[in-house]
Amino acid sequence: MKVTPWEVEGNIDYDRLIKEFGVSPISEKIRSRLKDTHPLLRRGIYFSHRDFDKWLNNHDNKKNVSVITGRGPSEKMHLGHLVPFLVAKSLQDNFNCNVYIPISDDEKFYVKENLSFEDAIEYSRDNILDLIALGFKPKKTFIFEDFIYTKVYSYAGRIAKRITYSTAKAAFGLKNENNVGWSFYPAMQAAHILFPQFNEGKHISVVPVGIDQDPFIRLTRDIAMHKDFGFEKPAALHAKFIPSLYGDPKMSSSKEGSIFLSDSKKEVENKIKKYAFSGGGATINEHREKGGNPDIDVSYQYLKMFFEPDDNKLKKIYDDYKSGKLLTSEIKDILIEKINKFLEEHRKNKEKAKDKMKDFILKD
Amino acid sequence: MKVTPWEVEGNIDYDRLIKEFGVSPISEKIRSRLKDTHPLLRRGIYFSHRDFDKWLNNHDNKKNVSVITGRGPSEKMHLGHLVPFLVAKSLQDNFNCNVYIPISDDEKFYVKENLSFEDAIEYSRDNILDLIALGFKPKKTFIFEDFIYTKVYSYAGRIAKRITYSTAKAAFGLKNENNVGWSFYPAMQAAHILFPQFNEGKHISVVPVGIDQDPFIRLTRDIAMHKDFGFEKPAALHAKFIPSLYGDPKMSSSKEGSIFLSDSKKEVENKIKKYAFSGGGATINEHREKGGNPDIDVSYQYLKMFFEPDDNKLKKIYDDYKSGKLLTSEIKDILIEKINKFLEEHRKNKEKAKDKMKDFILKD
C-alpha cells in the first residue's frame, strides 16, 4: 500500500491509514449527527476526520462554521471530481453554512507544461458552471479563481513567509527543475484553506478531502497556529478513494474508466456495460446459484455512493444482487438509468448556471 | 572587485564591468541626445546600457516607449534611493513617456523575517508619497503595490511557469531555508519589468537600474522572448554606485552614512560636516597650497550628481576646489544649503502628494 498526494497504489487499508496519518475515525456518535446528509457522508465513504466533532459542536453552539473545498480545473469534470462538492453542498443544506470554492487555475497552469494561460482560464469557467449546477446557495457560496480574484495573492504571501522551500519541497515533492510558480503554490493552497478565516475572521472551517491529501491539511493546521495569524486549525473530512469503472482504487481522468459530466447517454451506457467491474458470477447460471459480491461490484458502489439515496431501496439491491436474484446486466441497467437522469438534469442546471455566475464569483 | 546583486566590494572598474556583463557603454552619440536631462544621465553616472539606443530611436520614430523602475519599500528613503526615479522623471519630462513604478511590498516582506504585513504596507505608502513628491505626471505615471494591486500575480504566474527553481536559485542566491515567497519573487520582479508590455502591448520599456542588478534584467530579457509572450526585450540604463557620505562605493541604509529624506536641517548639517568624505588637504594651509581632489570628494560628487544642475557653476566649484581656492568647509556649506533647500521643498511636495495619490495608484 502506498498513499501519498501523488501516488495511490495497492490494497488500501483504511484502518492502517487512520493510525499512520494520526487522524480520527468518524465515530457512530458523529455519524448519528449526519443522518440527513449525502450518502457519501452517512454511508462511510467519508471515514475519518480531524476536529470535525469540534466543527459540529461549534455549529450546535451557534458559532460560525464554514466549508472550504477547492478545484484544480481540468478540461472536463468526471463523477469522482464531484465528491467533495456533493459533501460541501450537503453540509451547507444541513448546517446552513458558508461554502468557499477556490479554483486553482494557477496550480494546473504551473504543473501542466503545455496548458496555455487562456485554456487554464477557460477550463476554470467550465468547471465553475459544473459546480454551480450542483445547487449551492447563492450569497452563502463564494467561488474565486487565483488568476482572476488575485486578492488571494496577498493572503498567500503572508503564508509564504512561513513556509520554507525545504518544507514545500518535502510536502509537495518539488524538484529543482520545477518552475517557481509550483514552488509558491503550497502557500496558495494553504491560503485557500485559511481563506474563510481571512475573510470572516477566526472560526472552524472544514475541508472535505481525499485521505491522500491530508499532508496538506496538516501543513496548513500548523500554519494556522502561527502567531502571525492566530487562526483556528481547519477541520478535515477524509474520503476513501472512489473506484474507477475498472475497480481501480482511484478514479482517474482516463476517458474510458470514468463517467464525465459531459458524456452522452450512449457513452454512459457503453462505458457501464463494457467497463464497469462486476462482482457477479461468471455465467448467469453461476450468478443465480452462488450470487454476486456487491462489495466489489462497481455498479453497486456507485449506487451506494451517488445514485440511490433511499436506504431501503439500496438494501434491496444489495440483497438481491448478493442472492443472485439481480443479475449484473440488471444492476448495470439501474445504474445507467440513474446516471443518465442525473446527467440530463445536470446539463440543464449547467446551462442555467451561466446566468447565475455573478451571484457566486467573488469580486474585489 | 566583486559586483553581484547582493554584494559590492573593492574598487569598482566600470570598464571591466561593461565587458564582463556584456553591456554597451553610453556613447557620445547617445549622450548628445540626453543634453537636457538630469545630471545623473548627462554627467555619466549612468554609464552603460542595453538597447537604450533602440529606445531612443523608437521614440524618435513615434513608437511607444516607456520607463519602468520599482521600489522595494523601506522604512525611510534616502538620497541614493531616488536615483532611478530622478532619471525616470527626467525621461518622462524629456520624452513624454509613461512611467511605471511597481512597489514590491512582497519582496521586503518575504526577505525581512521580522517585518509585519501591516508595516510592509505602511512603508509602501510612505515611500509612494516620496515618489509622487518628485513631480511625476499624473495620467502618465502608474504606481502599484504587489499586495494591493494583486492583478500583477496573474502576470507573474505566467512568467513563473518559465523560470525553474534552479534558475531562480542561481540568479537570486536562494537557499533551501528561504521561504517560498522569496522563491516566487523572481517571477514577480520579471512581471514588474514586463508590466508595461502586459499593460500596453509590445513596446520597448527602459529600466534605469544599478549595474549590480543587471543579472535580473538579463533574465527578464530572455523571458520576454519566450513564445508565450513575444514581447520586446526591455532596455536598461545602468548607474554607477552612489557613494555613501563616508565615500564607500554604495550608499547603504546606515543612519549616519546617508542623507534621509526625513532628515532635519540640523541632521543634514551635522552629517555633512562630520562624515562627508573630503578630498581636501589635511590643513587649510595645505589645501590652499596643493588644492583638493574633487573626484574623490563626496560633497563635490553629490553636487555633481544631484544638486548643481548648472554646468558652469559646477565647473567653477570643481576648478576652485581643485586650485585650493574653495575650502572643504565651504564646499560642504554649499552642499548643506542645497540639500536642505531640496528637502524642505520635498517635504512640502510629499504633504501635497497625499491628496494626489489616487491619480497615480493603479486600480483593478
Shortest CA distance to A79 belongs to which of A339, A357, A352? Answer: A339
Q: Is any Cβ of chain B less than 8 angstroms from the Cβ of A308? A: no
Q: Which of A340-344, A360-364, B178-182, B341-345 is predicted with the least confidence, judged by mean pLDDT?
A: A360-364
Interface probe for B, chosen from A180, A183, A216, A223 (most Cβ of B below 10 Å), is: A180
A180: exposed, middle or buried (C-beta count within 10 Å: 0-12, 13-18, 19+)? buried
- The verdict on residue B307 lying in a domain is yes
pLDDT digit string, tens, across residues A238-285? 999 999 999 887 666 577 889 999 999 999 999 999 999 999 999 999
Q: Provide the CATH number for the domain around residue B158.
A: 3.40.50.620
- The verdict on residue A308 lying in a domain is yes
Q: Is any Cβ of chain A less than 8 angstroms from the Cβ of B103? A: no
pTM here?
0.93
B318: exposed, middle or buried (C-beta count within 10 Å: 0-12, 13-18, 19+)? buried
ipTM confidence: 0.91
Per-residue pLDDT for B86 more than 90? Answer: yes
- The verdict on residue B356 lying in a domain is no
CA–CA distance, B44 with B239 (Å, rounded to integer)? 8
C-alpha cell at A162: 512561513
Q: Which of A4-8, B36-40, B282-286 is predicted with the least confidence, judged by mean pLDDT?
A: A4-8
CA–CA distance, A31 with A25 (Å, rounded to integer)? 10
The residue written with cell numbers 439491491 in the block is A317
CA–CA distance, A109 with A121 (Å, rounded to integer)? 9
- A161 with B181: Cβ contact below 8 A: yes
**What's the number of domains chain A is made of?**
2
pLDDT > 70 in chain B, percent: 99
- The verdict on residue B253 lying in a domain is no
Q: Is any Cβ of chain A less than 8 angstroms from the Cβ of B119? A: no
- The verdict on residue A363 lying in a domain is no
What was the pLDDT predicted at B281? Answer: 92
Residues A63 and A170 in one domain: yes
The whole domain housing B286 covers 265-351
What was the pLDDT predicted at A74? Answer: 86
The SS3 call for residue B162 is coil
Residues A52 and A182 in one domain: yes
Residues B295 and B209 in one domain: no
Residues B172 and B272 in one domain: no
- The verdict on residue B256 lying in a domain is no
Pairing type for strands A204-210 and A65-68 reads parallel
Residues A233 and A270 in one domain: no
Per-residue pLDDT for B42 more than 80? Answer: yes
Residues B292 and B219 in one domain: no
Residues B14 and B140 in one domain: yes
Q: How many residues does chain A have?
A: 364
A-contacting residues of B 123-162, CB under 8 Å?
146-148, 150-154, 157-158, 160-162
CB count in 10 Å sphere of residue A318: 20
- B166 with A177: Cβ contact below 8 A: yes
Residues A234 and A275 in one domain: no
Q: What is the DSSP code (8-state) at residue A361?
A: B
Mean pLDDT to the nearest integer, B118-138: 97
The residue written with cell numbers 575650502 in the block is B327
Shortest CA distance to B272 belongs to which of B320, B333, B341, B326? Answer: B333
The residues with which B78 forms a beta bridge, in sequence order, are: B260
Q: Provide the CATH number for the domain around residue A269.
A: 1.10.240.10
Query: Which residue in chain A has the smallest CA separation from B156?
Result: A181
- The verdict on residue B329 lying in a domain is yes
What was the pLDDT predicted at B363? Answer: 86
Cross-chain CB nearest to A174 (options B165, B168, B177): B165
B-contacting residues of A 10-39, CB under 8 Å?
none
What was the pLDDT predicted at A253? Answer: 59
A245 and A52 Cβ atoms separated by less than 8 Å:
no
Residues B46 and B88 in one domain: yes
- A164 with B157: Cβ contact below 8 A: no
Cross-chain CB nearest to B160 (options A168, A177, A180): A180
Q: Is any Cβ of chain B less than 8 angstroms from the Cβ of A169? A: yes
A276 and A298 Cβ atoms separated by less than 8 Å:
yes
Residues A189 and A323 in one domain: no
Cross-chain CB nearest to A160 (options B116, B184, B228): B184
- The verdict on residue A55 lying in a domain is yes
CA–CA distance, A156 with A186 (Å, rounded to integer)? 9
A57 and A108 Cβ atoms separated by less than 8 Å:
no
Cross-chain CB nearest to A163 (options B152, B179, B187): B179
Closest-CA distance, B156 to chain A, in angstroms, reads 8
C-alpha cell at B68: 519602468
Residues A270 and A227 in one domain: no
Q: Is any Cβ of chain A less than 8 angstroms from the Cβ of B102? A: no
Higher pLDDT, B334 or A172: B334
Residues B65 and B159 in one domain: yes
What was the pLDDT predicted at B256? Answer: 81
